[in-house]
A and B are shown apart, each in its own frame.
Chain A
Amino acid sequence: MEFQTVVFYLFGAIAVAAALGVILVRNPVHAALCLVLVFFSSAAIWLLLEAEFLAITLVLVYVGAVMVLFLFVVMMLDINVDRLREGFWSNLPLGLLVAALLVVEMLLVLTGDFFRQASSPPSLPVDASNTESIGRVLYTVYAYPFELAAMILLVAMVAAVSLTLRKRKDVRYLDPAEQVKVKAADRLRVISMPAEKE
C-alpha cells in the first residue's frame, strides 16, 4: 500500500469511530467533542485530496465557530440524558426503516453511473494552490455576488440587533463615568447646627 492510502484509511477510521462516538457516548459534551474530531479527520482527508482551502475552512468555520457555539449551548442547556433515551425502543422500528432507506438510496446513487467520472482528474502541480485560485476568482469574476453576500450579512446584523436589543429600564446598574465624577458635595451635606449641651 502506498503511504497516501495508509493515511487515508487511518483518518477514515478515526472519522468513522468518532462519528459512532457522537451518537453512542452518554455525555452530550463528549458527543460534541467527538463531532469536532470528525471534522478534523474529514479536514485531513480533504488535505489528501489537495483541497487545502476546504480543509482550512472546515476547521475554521465548523470547529472554530459552529462547534464552539454548539458546545456553549450544550453546556448551558441542562439536558436530561435519561429523558432523551426514553422512547428508544418504541422509535427503533421507524429509525431502522429510515436508516435502511438511506442506505438503499446511497447505494443506488453511488453504484449508478451518475457520479462516475470518465477518468480521475490529473493531480495538480506541486506549487498549485487552490486557495490562491479561489481567491483570484472570488475577488474578480465573482466580486459582484461576493459583495451581495456581504450586504446580506449586513441585513442579518441589522435585523438581529433591531429585533433583540432592548434597553431595559428596570435594571439597576452603575455608570462608572458618573461614579468617577462624583464630588463630596453630592454625597455629603454639611450642615451647621448649634452645639447642643446635654
Chain B
Amino acid sequence: MEFERPDFSLAAAEIFVAVMTLVVMVAGTFLRRISRELGYALAQLTVIGAAFITVFSVDDPTVRYTFGTMYVSDWLGQVLKLFIYLSVFASLLYGRLYLIERRLEKAEYYVLMLLSMLGAMILVSANNLLVLYLGLEMMTLALYALVAFDRDNGLRSEAAIKYFVLGAISSGLLLYGMSMIYGATGSLDLGVVGQAVSLGAGDELVFKFGLAFLVAGIAFKFGVVPFHMWVADVYHGAPTPVTLLISSAPKLAAFALALRLLVGGFFGLAETWQPMLMLLAVASIVLGNLAAIAQSNIKRMLAYSGISHMGFVLLGLLAGVTDGGHQQVFNAYSSALFYAVSYALMSLASFGMVLLLARTGFEAEHIDDFKGLNRRSPWFAAMMMLVMFSMAGIPFFLGFFAKFAVLEAVVSAGHTWLAVLAVIMSVIGAYYYLRVVKVMYFDEPTDRTALIASSETRVLLSANALTLAVAGLMPQGLMAVCGYAILTSF
C-alpha cells in the first residue's frame, strides 16, 4: 500500500480534543491544589475550542479525505459534531451543581467526558469500518465508566453492568457483520465496500448476512425495539448529567453510523435493509409510546419516549429508499438528520429540567416531583411546558416540524400506512407529555423549596427551551443547514 503523508489540519478538532484531554488529566492530578474549578474550566474550554475549530473549517463544502481515506471531512460530520459539542457543553454546565453536591466532581469525570466526546467525533467522520468501530468503542467505553462513576450507589453499578454487557454484545454483533463484509470485499474502506455492493462483486449471501448483523448493531446503539432493553434501566440508573449525555451525543453518533454504513456503504442493498428498518421503526414507535404511559419515573418516561423518537429517525432513513428521484431521497435524509438534531435539543432541555429540580439527596426523578412547579417557579414551569409540547409534536414547536418533515418524506416514498401509524402513536404519546404539564399547573406542590441553580444554568436552560419554540416558528434555518449537509456529503 502506498503511504501518503496525511493532512493533519483536517482532523484538527480531534487532535485538539485529544491533547486537551491529556492536559485535563495531568492538570487534574498535579494542579489540584491551585483550583478546584480547573478541571471544569479546562473541559469547557476544550469543548468551546473544538467548536471554534470545527466552525472555521466548514467554509469549504467539498468532501475531503485524510489518513488515506480513513477520515472524511464533510458537512454532515461538521454539523453533527457541532451538536455533539453542544450536548457535552450542556451536560457539563447543567450537571455541575449536581456533581458538586454528590461529591462526584473529579478530574477523571471530565477526562472521561472528553474522551467520550472524542470517540463520538471520530465515529462521525469515519470512512473505514475499523475506524468506525474504534470510535464507537472509545465513546461507549467512556460512557460505561461514567454511568458507574458514582460507584458506591448500587443503582448506578447495576445500570453500568447492564449497559456494559449489552453494549459488548452489540459491539460483537457489529464486528461480526464487519468481518463478513471484509471477508467478502477484502477492504475496510467504506467507499470500496459501497462499490463492491452496488456492482454485486462478491457473494451476495455473505453481504446480506453481514448486513443483518450491522443493522442489529446499529439498532442496539440507537436503542430501538427489540434492542431497547438497556435504555430504560441505563437512563434511570445513570447519574442525571450522564443520562443527559447518553440521550443526546451517542444518538447523533449512531445516526452518523447508520448513515455512513447503510447509505454510504450499503445503498446497493437498500431493498434488503429497508424492511429491517421498517420493522424496527414500527416496533419502536408503538412500544416506546405505550410503555412510556406506564412510567412514574420521569427518566424512564423520557427513555421510552427516546425509543419512539429514534423510531422516527429510522423512518426518515428508510424513506430515502425510493424510486422517486433525487429530490425525494435528499428530502428523506435531511428530514432524518433534522429529526436527530431536534431530538438532541429537546432531550438536553428535558434532562436539564430534571437536573434543575434535583438537589442534595433528592433526585427529582419522579413525575410527582414536578407537582405544582408553576407555584414554585412560573418561568421554569413554562420552559418545561415548551419542552413537553415540542416533544409531543404539538404544532409550531420544533418537534412538530421534525415529525412533519419525516412523515412527509415517508408519505412521498409511498408508505402512507407507516405515516398513519406514526401519527396515531404520536397522539397516544401526547398523553404522557401532557400529563407532566398537567401535574405542573393543576396539582398542589408537595414541596416548596426554591430552585437552586447557577445563573449560567438558568440562562442556558431557558435559551435551550426557547430555541425549541423559536426554531419551531422559523425552522427554515436549521432545516437548510441539515439539507446542505446531506446535499454536500452524498
Contact = CB atoms under 8 A, between A and B. Distances in A.
Interface of A: 137, 140-145, 148-149, 151-152, 154-156, 158-159, 161-163
B159 interface: no
Interface string B23-55: 001000000000000000000000000000000
B130 A151 contact: no
Given A155-B145, A158-B25, A158-B145, A144 B71 contact: yes
B337 interface: no
A115 to B, nearest CB: 11
Contact of B141 (A142, A145, A152): A152
A159 B149 CA distance: 9
B111 interface: yes
Contacts of A137: 1
B115 A155 contact: yes
Contacts of A144: 6, 67-68, 70-71, 131
A155 B134 contact: no
B137 interface: yes
Given A158-B111, A162-B108, 17 more contacts: A143-B67, A144-B6, A148-B131, A148-B134, A149-B134, A151-B18, A151-B138, A152-B134, A152-B137, A152-B141, A155-B115, A155-B119, A158-B112, A158-B145, A159-B112, A159-B144, A163-B148
B157 to A, nearest CB: 9
Given A158-B145, A159-B142, A162-B108, A145 B1 contact: no
A186 B149 CA distance: 42
A141 B130 contact: no
B134 A141 contact: no
Label chain B's interface by main secondary structure. Answer: helix
16 contacts: A140-B3, A141-B68, A142-B130, A144-B67, A144-B71, A144-B131, A145-B128, A145-B131, A148-B138, A151-B18, A152-B134, A155-B112, A158-B112, A159-B144, A162-B109, A163-B151
Nearest to A144: B67
Contacts of A158: 25, 108, 111-112, 115, 145
A152 to B, nearest CB: 5
B320 interface: no
B1 A162 contact: no
Contacts of A141: 1, 3, 68
A156 B137 CA distance: 11
B122 interface: yes
A158 B106 CA distance: 12
A162 B151 CA distance: 9
Contacts of B112: 155, 158-159, 162
B103 to A, nearest CB: 13
B134 A145 contact: yes
A151 B71 contact: no
Nearest to A165: B108
B135 interface: yes
Contacts of B144: 159
